[in-house]
Structure 1
């Protein structure tokens, strides 16, 4: 691969955006969720749910690539293990307008194991390198990898450096490392998010060993203060998952100011008001209100009126004919309790 391509990717503005990102999360980070998150932070890098390469290439499920232009900067995460198929899926993603194509090497679910991708790919770094090389050949946007520190009985101290060396040689300049092992045998996907111990120091050592790579850390990080601590210690980026979903305002409202050094703290109530035209347009296109508002339930977590906000949306959004006025009603109650 040419030095020109590598240099172009190293200088992409998306490297700056990747100082903070919201993790790809199945059934959570859909386009409605991402639209809300973008209203809270203009800078944070957002990721799609994982989309499998076979679904795009063999299944023709191109609707999975739909997004709103306001979601940029935005990355598409792909699942797969066939270099040719991943290259074609990456091409489709790049043509759809994504800023980055990410390869999932970290998901431990039974479904991805049966498809020989996700975390199981930690066992075949040569194949991952072939996938990265094929994807990079197919697209001009950056190709990145999200991985674990190892799986099952692997020794992360040996496995992870070898994995990073191989994907770097294939042209991957940016990696996000979930700082836990994945146990493919014996733990459920949910248990794999909590039970294997975190090894943040290992990720920091990998940054020191691969200084030319952009290294982000993921796993168990729940506050902006924790994110800033990792950045101050020398990492290039921090990816936050469940905390960004369940308490989006806590993570994203101050992100532009605290992580990127610009902008201002956003207001979740104002974000709700800005969601109203979006909700109206989506409902006119056939969406159901609860498909959108389920991502908004945690907006006021820990604030006055949060319980009533959740109750109003949870109970009312599923009803026939429910529309933006329900969200306005819920917001009015939050505003009233905040002023009390």
Structure 2
């Protein structure tokens, strides 16, 4: 593959409570080219809460997409405009989250029942920003789980001007399953997503759901325009180190030592601003997954990063139990 591939060819999924700004800077130390996403941010939080807290990010994180949760076209349009002002790379509408919170607000996966409303929202957002407006959704919800309904939903988005969709290749049950169960129990159906690409060849279709490694991702890139990894990228983040080389054909693979050396100045800066160490390092706990020294690293970070005044000496202590050959190995 060539270095001219667009960022969305590989992306890291938006994950609530996980892909915060510290996580994204850490992931950027692993891959320069992948598209990163914020956690889903509701329009209410942005418009009526601490705007800077929800929208600020480090320039290190780009390319970065802001994922919005909401259903009101006017509110979504205002937030899309702010995304452009804040310097995001794109704005994404969540039509796939099945939590009680989004159901109570009639957004997230609930929106798959009202494709015309999603189209209105998308058009309002497009009119308010110069950024690409994209949509992330499921293959269906509850009893609205036929190929015909999915085709109508995506066709409505395409008619509204959406040029790229990300499809979590599972349906969502809005009652009876928790968000965690909705990520695991409904069976994966890559064939349904592949059929969408065949039906809408002019639409960029990104596959999400169940991908565990880059080999699986590359296999799906034989037909999909892009792939999105979620839990695997978070729980085993070192797999991201090979993304630039193996997916984009650009750059070398950093060692784990180099990754943490790159991340370290950001940690120091944030500590100087009063950010607790555990919030910065919790995203690195899986960096040594499956390697010698992993248990020592996790134990030290987990036990000592919460201490008042904890600083980079905790990271140094955690690394002291990891063999050099592990620290300096490259994927």
Measure how far apart 1:124 and its partner are. 0.3
In the other structure, the counterpart of 1:268 is 256
1:51 aligned onto 2:41: yes
In the other structure, the counterpart of 1:247 is 236
TM-score (norm 2): 0.96
Q: Is the Cα–Cα contact under 8 Å of residues 145 and 175 in structure 1 kept in the other structure?
A: yes
Measure how far apart 1:338 and its partner are. 3.7
Q: Is the Cα–Cα contact under 8 Å of residues 305 and 337 in structure 1 kept in the other structure?
A: no
In the other structure, the counterpart of 1:180 is 170
Q: Is the Cα–Cα contact under 8 Å of residues 216 and 235 in structure 1 kept in the other structure?
A: yes
In the other structure, the counterpart of 2:198 is 208
Measure how far apart 1:141 and its partner are. 0.7
SS of the aligned residue for 1:119 comes to helix
CA distance in 1, matches of 2:200, 2:325: 51
Q: Is the Cα–Cα contact under 8 Å of residues 15 and 214 in structure 1 kept in the other structure?
A: no
Measure how far apart 1:61 and its partner are. 2.8
In the other structure, the counterpart of 1:238 is 227
RMSD: 1.4
1:294 aligned onto 2:282: yes
The answer for unaligned runs of 5 or more in structure 1 is 1-12
CA distance in 2, matches of 1:156, 1:282: 48
SS of the aligned residue for 2:205 comes to strand
Q: State which of 81, 102, 111 in structure 1 corresponds to 2:71.
A: 81
Q: State which of 38, 41, 55 in structure 1 corresponds to 2:28.
A: 38
What is the total number of aligned residue pairs between the two structures? Answer: 325
For the structure 1 residues 14 and 127, does the alpha-carbon distance in structure 2 shift closer, same or farther, using more than 3 Å as the test? Answer: farther
Measure how far apart 1:60 and its partner are. 4.6
For the structure 1 residues 14 and 37, does the alpha-carbon distance in structure 2 shift closer, same or farther, using more than 3 Å as the test? Answer: farther
Q: Is the Cα–Cα contact under 8 Å of residues 21 and 46 in structure 1 kept in the other structure?
A: yes
In the other structure, the counterpart of 2:299 is 311
In the other structure, the counterpart of 2:308 is 320
Residues 170-190 of structure 1 show CA distances to partners (whole Å, capped at 9, x for unaligned) of 111000000000000111111
1:198 aligned onto 2:188: yes
CA distance in 2, matches of 1:248, 1:180: 23
Q: Is the Cα–Cα contact under 8 Å of residues 145 and 171 in structure 2 kept in the other structure?
A: no
In the other structure, the counterpart of 1:256 is 244
For the structure 1 residues 174 and 71, does the alpha-carbon distance in structure 2 shift closer, same or farther, using more than 3 Å as the test? Answer: same
Residues 51-105 of structure 1 show CA distances to partners (whole Å, capped at 9, x for unaligned) of 0011112335332111110111100000000000000011111110000000000
Measure how far apart 1:15 and its partner are. 7.2
Q: Is the Cα–Cα contact under 8 Å of residues 5 and 248 in structure 2 kept in the other structure?
A: no
Q: Is the Cα–Cα contact under 8 Å of residues 105 and 122 in structure 1 kept in the other structure?
A: yes
TM-score (norm 1): 0.93
CA distance in 2, matches of 1:36, 1:14: 24
Q: State which of 7, 11, 25 in structure 2 corresponds to 1:17.
A: 7
In the other structure, the counterpart of 1:222 is 212
Residues 131-151 of structure 1 show CA distances to partners (whole Å, capped at 9, x for unaligned) of 000000000010000000000
In the other structure, the counterpart of 1:138 is 128
Q: Is the Cα–Cα contact under 8 Å of residues 4 and 248 in structure 2 kept in the other structure?
A: no
In the other structure, the counterpart of 1:4 is none
Q: Is the Cα–Cα contact under 8 Å of residues 17 and 43 in structure 1 kept in the other structure?
A: yes
In the other structure, the counterpart of 2:90 is 100
1:128 aligned onto 2:118: yes
SS of the aligned residue for 2:186 comes to coil
Q: Is the Cα–Cα contact under 8 Å of residues 30 and 48 in structure 1 kept in the other structure?
A: yes
Measure how far apart 1:337 and its partner are. 7.2
